């Protein structure tokens, strides 16, 4: 970030290129799919990605899922760590995120006002948490297109790749800190905070 001029008043007097064992552990994952041509969203809120990440059993907490919501244009992401991954809970968080995102980028649709950056598409998998009468009716009422992709479409769903990155960061922080496994939710929240504030190579900007 210093080399790209993204931070001020920071001077590096000495650099080391030591290999961080915890970082290498966090980066281990399955082989990625071949990249495909993707022109990507052209404006904020054009596409919102939503995906559920299921932590391993015996993770030391009562949480059973992590809902990741991400703006496809800026790659800004938020997470909700859930004790229940029912469609009602997931629907609630998606609706709240869409109204919040539109308020931040423009005006709120619920007030009947014009919004420059309304959510146009929501991309999810075909799981019952995302595909159900309640949320489909809500999308239809607000003119939002629900794009559903297959379970093997991680190469098309930026949100899946994002939660893989967040999990890698979380594993690295937990390995380095030596904290008990039960604190992984705090590490993941910290990972999201960091991700939203560092340079993204895909967008060539900071979310």
SS (H, E, C) the chain: CCCCCCCCCCCCCCCCCCCCHHHHHHCCCCCCCCCCCCCCCCCCCCEEEEEEECCCCCCCCCCCEEEEEEECCCCCEEEEEECCCCHHHHHHHHHHHHHHHHHHHCCCHHHCCCCCCCCCEEEEECCCCCCCHHHHHHHHHCCCEEEEECCCCCCCCHHHHHHHHHHHHHHHHHHHHCCCHHHHHHHHHHHHHHHCCCCECCCCECC
Report the C-alpha gap between 44 and 26 in whole angstroms: 30
> Is 31 a domain residue?
no
The rounded mean pLDDT for the chain is: 83
> Is 93 a domain residue?
yes
> Is 157 a domain residue?
yes
> Is 32 a domain residue?
no
Q: List the domain range (segments joined by +) for residue 169.
A: 42-195
**What region, left, alpha or beta, does residue 144 occupy, with left being phi > 0 and alpha being psi -120 to 50 degrees?**
beta
Looking at the structure of the chain, the number of domains it has is 1
Average pLDDT over residues 138-161: 84
> Is 27 a domain residue?
no
> Is 21 a domain residue?
no
> Is 33 a domain residue?
no
Which of 36-50, 81-95, 101-115 is most confident? 81-95
> Is 201 a domain residue?
no
| pLDDT greater at residue 57 or residue 180 | 180
Per-residue model confidence (pLDDT) at position 35: 45
Looking at the predicted structure, is the pLDDT value of residue 58 above 50? yes
Q: What CATH number does the domain containing 139 carry?
A: 3.30.420.10
| Beta carbons of 67 and 87 less than 8 angstroms apart | no
In this prediction the pTM is 0.78
């Amino acid at each position: 970030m210093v080399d790209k001029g993204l931070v001020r008043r920071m001077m590096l007097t000495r650099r080391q290129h030591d290999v961080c064992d915890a970082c290498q552990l966090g980066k281990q994952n399955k082989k990625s799919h071949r990249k495909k041509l993707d022109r990507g969203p052209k404006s904020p809120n054009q596409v919102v990605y939503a995906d559920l990440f299921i932590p391993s059993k015996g993770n030391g907490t009562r949480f059973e899922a992590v809902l990741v919501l991400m703006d496809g244009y800026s790659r800004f992401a938020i997470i909700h760590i859930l004790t229940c991954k029912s469609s009602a809970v997931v629907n609630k968080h998606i609706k709240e995120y869409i109204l919040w995102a539109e308020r931040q980028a423009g005006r709120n649709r619920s007030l009947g006002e014009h919004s420059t950056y309304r959510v146009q598409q929501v991309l999810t998998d075909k799981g019952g948490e995302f595909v159900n009468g309640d949320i489909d009716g809500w999308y239809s009422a607000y003119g939002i297109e629900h794009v559903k992709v297959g379970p093997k479409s991680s190469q098309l769903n930026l949100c899946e790749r994002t939660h893989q990155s967040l999990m890698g960061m979380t594993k690295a922080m937990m390995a380095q800190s030596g904290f008990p496994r039960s604190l992984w939710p705090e590490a993941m929240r910290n990972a999201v905070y960091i991700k939203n504030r560092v340079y993204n190579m895909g967008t060539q900007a900071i979310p």
